[in-house]
Chain A
Amino acid sequence: MTDYAIEFDKVTKRFGDNLLFENFDLKIKQNEIVSIIGSSGSGKSTLLRILMTLETIDAGMVRVQGESLWHMQKNGAWQPANERHLHRMRGQLGMVFQHFNLFPHMTVLRNITEAPMHVLGQSKETARAQALELLRLVGLEDKADAFPSELSGGQKQRVGIARALAMKPSILLLDEITSALDPELVDEVLEVIRKLAAEDAFTMILVTHEMYFAREISDRVCFFDAGKVVEEGPPEQIFNQPEHERTRAFLSSFLSV
């Protein structure tokens, strides 16, 4: 296993004429928990979406578990990854979305078993047993047969986490997973993440606005601004003694809200 679960190496990403990342570098160690904070439009979510292959890159290289994500080598030359390569690489990654993106027409159980059965080739029994175990982990074992519309936001997001975990990723991408929730439902979701963090079995990247949670759970916090990591370090440093003016401004705007 390589030292780094994720490496961004001089990555450039454009949206039309808009240059978001230019020569962007970031390395994340195995089983490291990294929180990414910053104002909207700073590229936080795009970083996760590039990793989940939902957004392409324009230049540079992204490596996941030491292997290039968006490129593959053929006869010694690099070329854009084909669908098969992407499919294989995605096996390392799991993502939880801000708006859950559960499949509304499927039961909670089927939401969780769908991919393990049809992608990993698990038998129905195996997938079901694993799903029930994951539902226990997120505290929803009694909701297996419910439909997403019958769940609260917090419950939906816990199903979202269980669904991502069912694919046994080594890297978990959490994209503002509590931003769409009522404040009183945030904790039940964060509690699940706390449990996962304690297992120390995943590399986790959290894009979040929950500053207290980021501080509590992260090994490292990165402050993003305009597609750059302006400042990074252990949470105590970022939250107690931010060095950069913009970090201070961002954090103070947050604490005053």
Chain B
Amino acid sequence: MELNIPKDKYKKRADDAVEKSDIWIDMLKAFVVGGIICTIGQVISFGAQNIGFTKEQAGTVTSIVLILMSAVATGFGWYDNLGRWAGAGSILPITGFANSITSPAMEYKSEGLITGLGVKMFIVAGPVLVYGISASVIAGILTYLISLV
């Protein structure tokens, strides 16, 4: 016995049955959480400048501190709960990037430090690194060529 429903029609039916989340509420949550993370970053930056770092150095200090905070929160099992609520608000900032590297490292530690953690650490962040670095190389070459003209 077979169902006489064309595949594209059934796919649409199954997709339509899925309850969509409210995009406005999602955006509001992302805005609030993303905003809070960025505010924390700004506070760290000002603090660093206050104790004598230059503005450029303070930017580096901010990244390091935020990454550490995110990695620690991931280790304690808090960041995934935040991400479930905030969505893009906690995925997009640098803390989300740190979370995407720390979480596979934790997951694959059981398979060994080299064959597990070392190999699998970048399964989520890998594409960001590959295409991010590629894009910056291309942008660098273009900038150089334009400067020649």
The yes or no verdict on A and B being binding partners is: no
